[in-house]
Structure formats: structure tokens, C-alpha cells
Structure 1
Amino acid sequence: MITTNRRPLFLIFFAALTAGAGNGISLVAFPWLVLQRNGSAVDASIVAMAGTLPLLAATLMAGAAVDYLGRRRVSMISDALSAVSVAAVPLIALTFGAGAVNVAVLAALAALGALFDPAGMTARETMLPEAAREAGWTLDRANGVYEAVFNLAYIVGPGLGGLLITTLGGVEAMWVTAGTFLLSISAVAALRLDGAGVPNREHVPQVWAGVVEGLKFVWNTPVLRTLAIVDLTATGLYMPMESVLFPKYFTDRNEPAQLGWVLVALSVGGLVGALAYAALSRHSERRTIMLVALLVLGVSMTVIAFLPPLPVILVLCAVVGFVYGPIAPIYNYVMQTRAPAHLRGRVVGVMGSLAYAAGPLGLVVAGPLADTAGLHVTFLALSLPMLLLAVAAIFAPALRHLDRDPETPVFD
């Protein structure tokens, strides 16, 4: 008789939910605090870039840290440091006054938070294959539910963030953010799972050598290399819309709750799309799902560029979330099935860092362009290249390997 244990998998889901909710609150609170001061999209871009620039190096190092220190330990350390970085906002306001929470301070704290978050996310993702095996779940199902939980966090987080800003204020909302990270720590502390503890360091070189090894593995695996390029481009085009353009649009209209609803719509769509992925993967090829997602994303962003009424924007955001929801489970599946267990953290770190690399470039362009040319032009400047990316992906031969992966993940 085969026995299953779902507890480790559900603890990972809970940790992803609580930590993601904290990041979701920050997603609303940080730009709101900046835009409330002077309404400048450039300043909002500065803070957004501060929260993304460290992600490239941090995610690269996070993978090596996970493989060297252990997945469970790194997840807990990362969440503890993230809690400190967001709790510093109200602490500074209490100590030095609300005026001390200026753009420079917010940018510095956003950068600190960005240094710590990737390690926690990488650690949780690399524990999924073993947790799925213990639970008796397929890896597609585990990845789909994990990403659905992550999207659920961004339903709870931004919605709660908008409510907290309205009732308590942006500064006080950071106390709640810190509390969510503490809940994530408590879940991971209770986790017992093969491969989650202190690793066998015979397989793990020093940090920089480990990063290089991960980069070589991704570069020498055509499907991973192509996915990294696609994700890098899509992230650079999509991130400014969520981090700068929507906050700018709704701040100008003094509608924080509506900003929260837009982010919730994106997450609701992502939640449904990720949950649907397990069923879709049985009837559709992964490559087909990805190509449709990129095409619909480009079309939806183009329509949003004309700034239609709020109900239309909400529907389009839900569609964007739905078609993008299966993308992360596909990425996770490919990484988990292509990389051996002792290298998994570095491969996840490399793929994540490459996805973040284009984000700051998009933000550098989007902020000044929004202030000078307007939101309509800026939206179009991001959506039209997304359509070109979808067309280019159709002719990428390496993406055909998405449906030629091994049936089970690689374990040491």
C-alpha cells in the first residue's frame, strides 16, 4: 500500500501564500507612498527600479545559497530579512517623523527587500518535486496549484493593501506586511522534507563558481535558454504596466481602491489560469499554451493602452492573468525536470535572474515616457513589442522541446 503525506506540500503552499500576500501589500503601498508626495511617475519608477535592480544579482546568488545552505534554512532567513526591511518603514516614521519616509528612503528599503525575496521564492520552488512525490501528486499539478496559491496571494495582498491605505495609511500598512512574512517563517519551520535540510556540499562549489555552473547549464540547454530570453523580454514589457502605469493612472484620479481592484483582477485571472493548467496540460501541448498566452497578452495590453472604462480594464486584466497563469508552472516544470537535484537551486536562480534583467530597462523608459508623452503612448510602446514577441516565439524551434521532457523530475 502506497502512503502519501500532503503536509509538506501544504506547508509550502501556505508559506507562498503569506509571503506573497506581504509582497502584494508592498506592491500597492510603496508606489502609493511615493506618488502621494508629488505625483511624479519618474519618482515612482525610481522606487520600482530600486525594487528590481537588485533582483538580477540577488536571484543569481539565491540559487547558489539554496544549494549550499539548504532550502528550508534559506527560506526562513529570507523571510526574516524581508520582514525587517518592510517594518523599517513605520519604524523610521515613528522615530524621525513621516517626512523622513522620502523617495530615497523608500528606494533604499525597496532595494533591501528585493535582495531577500528571491532566496525565499527560489527555496520554496526547489522543494516542490520532493513534496509532490510525498503527496502522490504529479509535478504539473503541484506546480499549477503552487502558482495558483501565489496568485491568490496577490489577490489578498493588493486588495488588503488598498484597504489598509484607505483606513490606516501607507506607512502603517507595512506592519501587516511584516506579519505575513512571520507567518511564512512559522510554516517553513514546521516543514520536514527530504532534500530540504542541510545539503551534501560535495556537489556544491563556492558561490561564484556555483553561479557560473548554473549559467552554463541553462545556456547549454536550448529549451531553458529560449525560455529565459522569452521571459526576460515579456517581464521587461509587462512590469512597468503593473509597477508604474496603473499606479500613475489611479493616483492621478485619487482612486487607491481601484488600483487594488486592477491588481486583484490580474491575480484572479492568474489564479484560475494556474489551476486550469493541470487540466489543460492533459489535452494541450505546453508550447501551444505558451504561444496563445503571449499573443493574448499582447492584444490585451494594446486594448488597455486606449484606457477604456474601469470595467473593461478589469476584464482585460483578468484575461491577461488567465492566459499568463500557466506560464510559470511550465517554466517550473522544465527547470525541475531538466536540472539534477543538487543543481536545481542554481538553475531556478539563473532563470529567475534573467527574467528580472530587463525589468529595470522597461522602468527606465516607462516613467519618463509616461510623464512626457502620456499613458496612452507608453502603454502602446510596451504592448506592440509584446505582439512581436508572440510572433517570434512561434518560429523558435527550441520551444518544441517543451513537450519532450522526461515524465518525472530528476532526483539525486
Structure 2
Amino acid sequence: MPYLLVELSNITSVISGSMVFIALPWLALEITGSAASAGALVALTSIPGIFFGPILGTLIDRIGRRISGFISEVLTALTILLIPVVHSSIEISFALLVALALGRAIVSPASSTARKSIIPDVAGPSGLSLERANSIHEAVFATGFAIGPAVAALFIGLIGPFDVFYVVACFSTLSATALFFVRTKESRGDGVSETGSLLQDTVLGAKTILKTPAVLLGLSFVMTLAMVYLPTEMVVLPAHFNALDYAEGLGILISTMAGASVVGALLFERLQKTFKYSTILKFG
């Protein structure tokens, strides 16, 4: 049961996040008519992750994984609700949209990290090996990423680029609710600290990454891929389909791309029985 609740939180959170991937650049294009502005929005909202990313793990260990994820999802829902609520009172400029989007970007990353961290704690009680639990988790993540863009495109067409964020907030609320009911004994967290200092714990984590070549290489690979993939998905494609006034086409394309990753995630469990992790990473 705890694992099922974590995965329910996982898929609803990812649907919410992948809807934002479509809706925010689309809204920026609606407000400014400029692909450059949409690109600037994407770039600016990535900054909080760069600065706060290194301390997320430390904070999650101190506060607790379930509680961290719950708080993050609640704050994500509240910050994303501000977009349609503010729009109902005043006209949202591009600068105001950036400010509101930055609020979400600051609070949202912790939920994904917390859910990933709690998998070892809920896999065993659910009768799953860690490899199988991780494989399912990634497949559920990819499924949510496939569903979200299609849902966003549908509701942009039905209720408009501002009110679609009400739907986004609903999915974040569902995610928070699922995490709230998770009951498990966490192997770390609840105030556990290795040094007694938040700053020292963060520095220790950074040093561990730098001293572990495989982790450092994997992190560098993911960051490089993100630099190529995210601008394409969040700027180039929305600009193209916005010019065509075809939100549904954008949703279908992104969902199809994400659907392919579901297959890869499900194959991981079988592949890891035959190949080493390093081999899978190299070919992946």
C-alpha cells in the first residue's frame, strides 16, 4: 500500500509538471508573441534548481522524505494557482508571469527528490526488489510525462491558457494527498544529520559526488542532455505549434515522445539482469 500511494503521488505530480512544460511557454507566447521571451522564461525558471539543488537532499533528510514531498506539492499547487487567480484581477505581464513561475520553480523540485528517496523504504514492505521498484517508478514517471502534455493541450483548447493552471493545481493537490497517507519507517530523515550543520552536510554531499566518478559522469550527462532537450521541448516546439494555433498537435507529439520512454523504463528491470549498470548507461 505505501508503494502504491507513492506511485499515485508520482504520476499525478508528473502530470502536473509536464502540463506546466507545455502551458507556461504557451502562455508566454500568448502574452508576448515572442519565442525569445518563452526561451527566457524557461532559462530563468531553471535558475532556482541550480542554486537550491545541492541542498535539497540535505533538507529532505533533515525534515523527512514523506513530509518534504507533501510540503513541496502543497506549495507547488498554491504557487501555480496564483497564475489564474492573479489573472482574474489584473492583466499579467511577462515580468509578472516570470515572477509567478519562479515561485513554483523554487518549491517544486523537492517533491520528485523526496519520492525517489523514499522508494527503498516502501519497496521492501510491498514485496518488491529495489530494482523492480525503481523500474516501475521510472515507468510511472514516463507515463505521467506522456499524459500531461495531452491533458494540457486539451484544456488549453477548452478553457484557455490561464485557466488550465487550475487543472495543474488539482493534480499537484492529488499528489500531496497521496503522500500524506503514506505510512512507512524511513531509513533516514526525521532530523538525521551527519555533521550537525546544514551547510556542512551539503558540502559533504557535494564532495561525495566529486569523489565518485560514476555519479559525476551521470550528473554531467543528464545536465548536458537537459541543455539540448529542454529548449527543444519547451521553446521550439511550443513556438511552432503556437504559430499554427494547434495546441492539440503539441500535446500529441510530446506525449508520443514520452510514451517511448515508458518502454525503456519497463525494459530496465530485464536488462539489468543481463547487463551491468555501466553497460546500460553507456548504450543508453
TM-score (norm 1): 0.66
Q: CA deviation at 1:287?
A: 2.8
Matched letter for residue 14 of structure 2: G
Secondary structure at 2:186 match in 1: coil
Indicate how the Cα distance of structure 1 residues 202 and 29 shifts in structure 2: closer, same or farther if over 3 A, else same: closer
Alpha-carbon distance change, 81 to 200 in structure 1, aligned in 2, over 3 angstroms: closer
**1:253-292 matches, cutoff 5 A:** 253-292=244-283
Per the TM alignment, residue 146 of structure 1 is displaced from its structure 2 partner at its CA by 0.5
Q: Give the corresponding residue for 2:18.
A: 24
1:117 equivalenced with 2:108 (yes/no): yes
CA drift at 1:173: 0.6
- Is the Cα–Cα contact under 8 Å of residues 71 and 196 in structure 1 kept in the other structure? no
Q: Identify the residue that residue 50 of structure 2 maps to in structure 1.
A: 56
Distance (Å, rounded) in 1 between the aligned partners of 2:105 and 2:25: 15
Q: Secondary structure at the match of 2:60?
A: helix
How many residue pairs align between the two structures?
A: 284
1:247 counterpart SS class: helix
1:219: Cα distance to partner?
0.9
Q: Select 1:42's aligned residue among 36, 40, 54.
A: 36
Q: Which has the larger radius of gyration?
A: 1
CA drift of 1:56 comes to: 1.2
Unpaired runs of 5+ residues, structure 1, are 1-6, 294-412
Task: Kindly state the Cα deviation for residue 182 of structure 1 after the two structures are TM-superposed.
Answer: 1.0
Q: Which amino acid aligns with 1:17?
A: I
- 1:62-101 alignment, distance < 5 Å: 62-96=56-90, 100-101=91-92
Q: Which runs of 5+ in 2 are unaligned?
A: none
Return the offset for 1:199: 2.0
SS at match of 1:205: coil
Distance in 2 between the 1:202 and 1:281 partners? 33
Contact 1:80 1:185 in 2 (8 A): yes
Asked if the contact 1:34–1:102 (Cα under 8 Å) also holds between the matched residues in 2, the reply is no
Report deviation, 1:266: 1.7
Preserved contact between residue 32 and residue 170 of structure 1 (Cα < 8 Å) = yes
Query: 1:34, CA displacement in angstroms?
Result: 1.1
**SS at 1:199's partner residue?**
coil
Deviation at 1:240, TM superposition (A): 0.9
Query: Quick one: distance in 1 between partners of 2:235 and 2:189?
Result: 40
Q: Which residue of 1 aligns with 2:186?
A: 195
Aligned letter for 2:269? A
SS at match of 1:127: helix
**Structure 2 counterpart of 1:111, one-letter code:** L
**Aligned equivalents of 1:291, 1:202: Cα separation in 2:** 34
1:204 Cα deviation after fit? 5.3
User: Which structure would you say has the larger RCO, counting Cα contacts within 8 Å and 6 or more residues apart?
Assistant: 2
**Correspondent of 1:143 among 118, 134, 149:** 134
Aligned-pair identity in percent equals 27
Superposed, which structure 2 residues align to 1:9-408 within 5 Å?
A: 9-96=3-90, 100-195=91-186, 199-203=190-194, 205-293=196-284
Of 209-218 and 275-284, the range deviating more from structure 2: 275-284
Could you tell me how far 1:17 is from its partner in structure 2? 0.7
| Aligned structure 1 segments of 4 or more residues deviating by more than 6 angstroms | none
- 8 A contact 1:68–1:204 mirrored in 2: no
The one-letter amino acid of 2:36's match is V
Amino acid at match of 1:81: L
**d(CA) in 2 for partners of 1:290 and 1:56?**
24
Q: Distance in 2 between matches of 1:22 and 1:60?
A: 24
Shift of 1:35: 1.0
Q: Equivalents in 1 of 2:193, 2:99: separation in Å? A: 37
Any conservation in 2 of the 1:73–1:197 contact (CA below 8 Å)? no
Q: What SS is found at the alignment partner of 1:51? A: helix
Tell me how far apart the structure 2 counterparts of residues 198 and 231 of structure 1 sit (CA, whole Å). 26
What's the TM-score once normalised by structure 2's chain length?
A: 0.95
Question: Which residue matches 1:388?
Answer: none
AA in 1 matched with 2:63: L
Structure 2: distance between partners of 1:222 and 1:30? 36
